[in-house]
């Protein structure tokens, strides 16, 4: 795929450059609670603007139903992008209508505009090829060149990700190029020991990647809500813990495969439990208790890995040459259940190897818990995209950039 450096060498002054970014930031009303994804696209936007391009930034935010919804407006993201750039950023109140056309037409060389949420248009996410194509045609009319820099969306076959590149000269932005380079280090020429830490709520979200990793990783550490399905598969009582009963047979098969192939599959040995889920708004003390992983009371639910598991997982990460972490170890949003996730993050920082935080909730946890992002080898902006890449799937947004 061609990269932005090639585009810049060709010259972009005066050209309208459509940048498909990922500005899907978490919001509390109109307040952005984590601007990591906006900061991630800054190098690409800055480079294009400084080279004299007329930069048109587009993104989705949330899951509106194909129609405008003020709750999912990109206006706060556009304002924050302007603050980070130190320059005014124009904002179009639609995506391909009168406001977008006028806003783009009014851009001077070196200036930046953001158009409204792409998903306010049904054609963006449509499964109908013709409907997506029609929307992509309207987007293409706003630009001369396409730059893909929204890694968090490249696993989606959406109009702005998959169909639009076919209509314009297309290039990968700095973020996309960097993400792909990192993921190749996790798949093509992996330095060992290769240790993977997986957490998060649902084991069903991770089964496909576990299937692939059982043939590639040396160790897989399991935490988060998904751990209780693994513990159930071992025959343990898990009480009221998050459980996907229908996935137990598949998990049992993976446990057996790990034993046969020599992959070390490491499960929690203890857990923090409580009778009810904590209040994440008030952060009221939850007063959890610690129990062995095979002794969770029937009226309790596991909400974080316990202190012995934290020590165990840190020891399993200590000698890693390559680490991939995706998914928190517990309900890190509450201080009483954040220690497991903190322990894994700290172990990555202390690891001598190349460490990758696989986007999504893990990246949010790193920032929320106050860790220095530069202490990690790489923090991905796309959890789902990273997992699908590791699963060996073809990502539509990357395939569209190939010539």
Tell me if 349 sits within 8 A of 382, measured CB to CB.
Answer: no
Q: Is 113 helix (H, G, I), strand (E, B) or coil?
A: strand
Check 202, 234, 257, 367 and give the catalytic one.
202
Tell me if 56 sits within 8 A of 142, measured CB to CB.
Answer: yes
Q: For residue 35, give the nearest of 49, 21, 18 by alpha carbon.
A: 21
Alpha helices in 126-173 (DSSP H): 129-140
Annotated active-site residue 360? The verdict is: yes
Q: Is 204 helix (H, G, I), strand (E, B) or coil?
A: helix
Annotated active-site residue 37? The verdict is: yes
Helix or strand run (H / E) with residue 19: strand 16-20
Check 37, 240, 310, 316 and give the catalytic one.
37
DSSP 298-313: TT-EEEEE-HHHHHHH
> If you ran DSSP here, which 8-state letter would residue 129 be given?
H
Pairing mode, strands 270-274 and 264-266: unpaired
Distance between CA atoms of residues 313 and 307, nearest Å? 10
Place of tokens 């590791």: 390
First to last CA, the chain: 7
Check 360, 382, 383, 397 and give the catalytic one.
360
Annotated active-site residue 215? The verdict is: no
Distance between CA atoms of residues 361 and 28, nearest Å? 16
> If you ran DSSP here, which 8-state letter would residue 155 be given?
T
> If you ran DSSP here, which 8-state letter would residue 107 be given?
P
Distance between CA atoms of residues 175 and 300, nearest Å? 43
Alpha helices in 122-271 (DSSP H): 122-125, 129-140, 174-185, 207-213, 227-233, 248-261
Burial class (CB within 10 angstroms; exposed 0-12, middle 13-18, buried 19+) of 34: middle
Question: How many Cα atoms within 13 Å fall on the side-chain side of residue 319?
Answer: 7
Annotated active-site residue 202? The verdict is: yes
**Residues labelled as active-site residues:** 37, 202, 360, 384
């Amino acid at each position: 795929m061609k990269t932005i450096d090639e585009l810049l060498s060709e010259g972009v002054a005066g050209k309208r450059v459509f940048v498909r970014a990922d500005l899907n930031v978490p919001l509390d009303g109109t307040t952005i609670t984590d601007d990591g994804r906006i900061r991630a696209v800054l190098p690409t936007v800055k480079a294009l603007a400084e080279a004299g391009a007329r930069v048109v930034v587009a993104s989705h935010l949330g899951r509106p139903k194909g129609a405008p919804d003020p709750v999912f407006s990109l206006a706060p993201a556009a304002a924050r992008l302007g603050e980070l750039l130190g320059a005014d950023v124009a904002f179009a109140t639609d995506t391909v209508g009168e406001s977008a056309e006028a806003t783009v037409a009014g851009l001077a060389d070196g200036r930046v505009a953001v158009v409204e949420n792409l998903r306010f248009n049904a054609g963006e996410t449509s499964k109908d090829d013709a409907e997506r194509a029609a929307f992509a045609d309207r987007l293409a009319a706003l630009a001369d060149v396409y730059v893909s820099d929204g890694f968090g969306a490249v696993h989606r076959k959406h109009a702005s990700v998959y169909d639009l590149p076919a209509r314009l000269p297309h290039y990968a932005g700095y973020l996309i190029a960097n993400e792909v380079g990192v993921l190749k280090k996790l798949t093509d020429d992996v330095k060992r020991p290769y240790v993977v830490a997986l957490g998060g709520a649902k084991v069903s979200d991770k089964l496909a990647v576990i299937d692939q990793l059982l043939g590639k990783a040396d160790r897989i550490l399991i935490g988060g809500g998904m751990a209780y399905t693994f513990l159930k598969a071992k025959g343990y009582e898990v009480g009221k813990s998050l459980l996907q009963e229908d996935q137990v047979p598949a998990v049992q098969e993976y446990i057996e495969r790990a034993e046969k192939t020599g992959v070390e599959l490491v499960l929690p040995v203890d857990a923090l439990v409580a009778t009810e889920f904590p209040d994440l708004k008030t952060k009221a003390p939850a007063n959890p208790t610690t129990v062995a992983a095979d002794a969770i009371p029937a009226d309790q639910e596991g909400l974080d890995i316990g202190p012995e598991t934290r020590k165990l997982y840190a020891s399993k990460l200590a000698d890693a040459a390559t680490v991939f972490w995706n998914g928190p170890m517990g309900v890190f949003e509450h201080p009483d259940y954040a220690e497991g996730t903190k322990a894994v993050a700290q172990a990555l920082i202390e690891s001598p190897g190349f460490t990758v935080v696989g986007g999504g909730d893990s990246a949010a946890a790193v920032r929320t818990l106050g860790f220095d992002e530069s202490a990690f080898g790489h923090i991905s902006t796309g959890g789902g995209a990273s997992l699908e890449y590791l699963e060996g799937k073809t990502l539509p947004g990357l395939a569209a950039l190939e010539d």
